[in-house]
A and B are shown apart, each in its own frame.
Chain A
């Protein structure tokens, strides 16, 4: 018995993945595949091998053969115009989004593209946004060639029509920084010029000096009011137009009162006003906003199905091939789909060997064979030789896009129903009561003090510290979640997470692993002929184990042969005749023999192989469930979460799953996407707050319907449909910790509310007496803001380390 696969644990020099049987040696370096070797040779040739110095095995696995025809659509002018940002005869500028970018080596390689191809003039990366900006000379290299080069070295760009949006985003970011800069400048200078006022308690001897200070303050406050604070007014106004008091409304009101009273005082010569506090508040609020935006800058949650679909497609008209934009695709068009290309619309197979990978749609990684005349749904990827299809419906009418067009996608959720809102409503109510009481009191006592006292109440009691506390608590929590590879759409998701009491799991790709790295073969070596026969047989069954075995065998899809006398024994194994060889694959019980080799050992599952009644060996499928899932389920059950499993698969895994879940009543199999959606709706009708953990576009409806939809993905940068959060597959087992952490967030915000109310009481006690001096306001307001920011940041970080994040 030899265990060739178990001992050869070498890692590819390029991509770091474990090398299989086909280890390729070049320059004493091992490569897992031809693709990786080619990339290495290209880099070596161009003296770019320092690429391997910055990080260990930095490469991205070059997936199989490279088919250049895939990007043929980029030769079409109407498409390139949409992709590039600027173009003239000698220079073309284009920005690509490259989700694969992951380390400093990537930056190095992508910024040295000009050394590989001299047609590229300059390339510059933005790591945080995972973008590369390329300037090339269209005389020397075409857009298509640039994209092909990128794809060849492992960074296939996400090409979509959204490229124009990138520029807008940059401008928006800059606008925000300008506002902060201006507010900071004005705030600091106003502070400085208010110092004499504070220390002389309003009695400055020098003639004209006091007026100079106050009028300068007024001048300095104007840019803050009209430029820096404009965002708050616009947002508050928009809210009011829709008859909705949003979170910016009280801020806008407070700013308005502060400024009008200050201007009244300064212009009338009564005093110095509260411009120092007024500008300070704007400055701090803007920093809070910026911090919040920064946290989820690199994730785009707003994509819809269109971002995933190809831009162009090849059609055949009278045996002439032509590339057209996918939007112009019409019913009954003949299209050609090549290896690795995605099918843009539901179509009927006309010619060729269709082997469709629906992993994008269903999360299932195994390709499905289709016969001539069969309908192929949009979203599938062809693996193998080119096929010809006839379009059966327009892109917008395909099965997936219909799912996307379900009404629930049109409803925004988690918007503006935060628990902070009732708080701020009580706060506003209490504030107006205090103001009213103050008014009545001074009406009776001393009417001259009505205006100063009431406006002081409104100034000092602005709800800013309330808002800052949630902004910074949730901002810091988003950062901590992100560090643990759970990326939330926005701060409201944290609150929604804290209310969850029911969790629905999808099976494939969520609690099971998508990749097949966990399988190893042990036994007599198999010849290629035997491998082909084995794969052909294993492919016939839809049992997950059989699928895993089939996909682990490295045999070209074209070599698969027809199977005769196929028989499947449910829960045991299968038997088939391939090329005259009798093949039996199955569990130990299937063979009914007391061979010691058949005895299962360790944890995991064994799949035994027998050919012509000779025992060949076994596949150890060590753990097809994600690490720690069992522990996670236990922990969630202990915390009284209601757990459900919805699987699109058949119930062949029921036994294993019931071991994990402890019962079978909450397991549901053969669920269609619509059924999943309806099921979650039903749970919600029963007053449950549901978290759905799923992947694949077909879960999109259910993810959207649930209170919190979490997409589990092994490639977090690639996938984000309709979900509230993206969770890296490797960290799926930490879900219980995430939920506990989300709960603590609410307590932290509540604690900081108490603190800010204490500050408000101090401030108000001055204000109602009509003795709020600008100095007290200027000390109290920044002090409260800063202490609250520090407190919540500290508390949330401490809480995270307690929860093990």
Chain B
């Protein structure tokens, strides 16, 4: 049954690792804003690299 002691220490270590990861993520500012990133993600596909694509884009909106 002494395997319990080993298992408990492993479980605490693993959970502690997650806690540390959580604290680090808070520290890095991931929880400062929980809305904007969800919108920002949508902009990644919309970088018109070619200037000629812009007018086309505009006519589309018009309709």
Contacts and interface: CB of A to CB of B under 8 A. Distances in A.
B11 to A, nearest CB: 8
Given A111-B43, A209-B1, A185 B15 contact: yes
B50 to A, nearest CB: 9
B33 A126 contact: yes
Nearest to B51: A47
A27 B58 contact: yes
B1 A174 contact: no
A104 interface: yes
Contacts of A47: 48, 51, 54
Interface stretch (A175-183, A448-456, A748-756): A175-183
A104 B43 CA distance: 10
A526 interface: no
Contacts of B12: 189, 216
A126 B54 contact: no
A193 B39 contact: no
Given A49-B54, A52-B61, A212-B5, A188 B15 contact: yes
A188 B55 CA distance: 57
A53 B46 contact: yes
Contact of A212 (B8, B33, B43, B55): B8
A244 B37 CA distance: 43
B1 to A, nearest CB: 5
Contact of A127 (B8, B35, B61): B35
Contact of B26 (A111, A112, A178, A185): A178
Contacts, number: 87
Interface residues of A, number: 37
Interface residues of B, number: 34
Nearest to A56: B61
Given A126-B33, A127-B35, A189 B26 contact: no
Nearest to A107: B39
A192 to B, nearest CB: 8
A36 to B, nearest CB: 15
A125 B4 contact: no
B47 to A, nearest CB: 9
Contacts of A50: 43, 46, 48, 57
A444 interface: no
Contacts of B4: 206, 209
A173 interface: yes
Given A127-B35, A174-B31, A206 B48 contact: no
Contacts of B1: 206, 209
Interface string B1-45: 100110010011001101100110011010111111001101100
Nearest to B54: A47
Nearest to B34: A128
Given A206-B4, A209-B4, A212-B5, A126 B36 contact: yes
Q: Which of A111, A124, A127 counts the most B-chain CB atoms under 10 A from its CB? A: A127
Contacts of B26: 174, 177-178, 181
Contact of B54 (A44, A124, A170, A193): A44
Given A108-B39, A189-B12, 6 more contacts: A50-B46, A112-B43, A124-B36, A128-B36, A174-B27, A178-B26
Q: Which 10 residue pairs are nearest across A and B when measured between Cβ atoms?
A: A185-B19, A126-B33, A127-B36, A104-B39, A50-B46, A206-B1, A47-B48, A181-B22, A127-B35, A177-B26
14 contacts: A28-B62, A50-B57, A53-B61, A54-B42, A107-B40, A128-B36, A129-B33, A170-B29, A174-B31, A177-B26, A178-B23, A189-B15, A192-B11, A212-B5
Interface of A: 27-29, 44, 47, 49-50, 52-54, 104, 107-108, 111-112, 124-129, 170, 173-174, 177-178, 181-182, 185, 188-189, 192-193, 206, 209, 212, 216
